[in-house]
């Protein structure tokens, strides 16, 4: 394989959740630039349409799938519609996520359920349904967006850390179950990523300093810092890699 083919996704179909903004939007555009057709999944239809328009401008195919991932009973029909539209599903990026930043003693049962429903429950049922079609075609790539918080603790993230720890273990279990069908299931665990959505959080200079003090490479991550991992795990370059979580954390979890 020549170098320019290592991360080529021409002819592949990818589902990206949380694709209306932030990391999901950027990852969707990245996969499209690598040649994939994209099913954009999120609740905000108008924002998804903007992302789809950007993808169409670079000559790639994208469809808009407005969907509330907490409605897990509707996931099978949603995934089936995507499969019927494109004819196959090759890549699933479970990117949608939620954190409710509260001290543990202030966290309510409703807060806990909201975090788990998005970060873990919806991911399992998306994997289950996409995996059904991937098993039939005997290939597929599933990438779960975990977090360094799957491996370390931090303030105001008890539910979030629990959900991401569960996601990392789910990744391992599905990798074992589906290995014979040539489905690779992996995860990416970034550190804090500087985006428009997190910008206000890092305006707190004390918080920013605390975070940077824990990152040996000395800076926050940017979305493009995870691009290499995404393309690697989505492409044939990672055909012998499954069940792993790649930490893109600037060294935080090395401590």
Which residues are designated catalytic? 160
Dihedral, 102, 106, 110, 113 alpha carbons, nearest 10:
60
Token pair belonging to 234: 């989505």
Token pair belonging to 213: 């003090």
| C-alpha to C-alpha distance for 232 and 241, rounded to whole angstroms | 10
Could you give phi then psi for residue 114, rounded to 5 degrees? Answer: -60, -45
How do beta strands 140-145 and 37-42 pair? unpaired
Query: Do residues 231 and 30 lie in contact, with contact meaning Cβ atoms separated by under 8 Å?
Result: yes
Residues 6+ apart with CB under 8 A from 118: 69, 70, 96, 97, 98
């Amino acid at each position: 394989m020549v170098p320019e083919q290592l991360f080529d996704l021409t002819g592949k179909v990818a589902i990206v959740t949380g694709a209306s903004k932030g990391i999901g939007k950027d990852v969707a555009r990245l996969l499209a630039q690598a040649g994939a057709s994209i099913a954009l999944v999120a609740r905000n239809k108008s924002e998804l349409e903007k992302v789809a328009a950007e993808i169409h401008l670079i000559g790639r195919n994208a469809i808009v799938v407005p969907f509330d991932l907490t409605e897990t009973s509707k996931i099978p029909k949603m995934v089936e519609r995507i499969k019927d539209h494109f004819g196959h599903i090759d890549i699933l990026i479970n990117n949608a996520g939620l954190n409710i930043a509260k001290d543990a003693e202030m966290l309510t049962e409703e807060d806990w359920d909201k975090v788990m429903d998005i970060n873990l429950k919806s991911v399992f049922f998306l994997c289950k349904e996409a995996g059904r079609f991937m098993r039939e075609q005997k290939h597929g790539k599933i990438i779960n967006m975990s977090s360094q918080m799957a491996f370390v603790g931090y303030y105001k993230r008890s539910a979030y850390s629990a959900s991401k720890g569960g996601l990392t273990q789910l990744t391992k279990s599905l990798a074992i179950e589906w290995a014979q069908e040539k489905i690779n299931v992996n995860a990416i665990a970034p550190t804090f990523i500087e985006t428009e959505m997190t910008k206000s959080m890092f305006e707190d200079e004390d918080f920013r300093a605390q975070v940077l003090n824990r990152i040996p490479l000395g800076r926050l991550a940017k979305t493009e810092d995870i691009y290499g991992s995404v393309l690697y795990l989505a492409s044939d370059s990672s055909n012998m890699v499954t069940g792993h979580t790649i930490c893109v954390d600037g060294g935080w979890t090395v401590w």
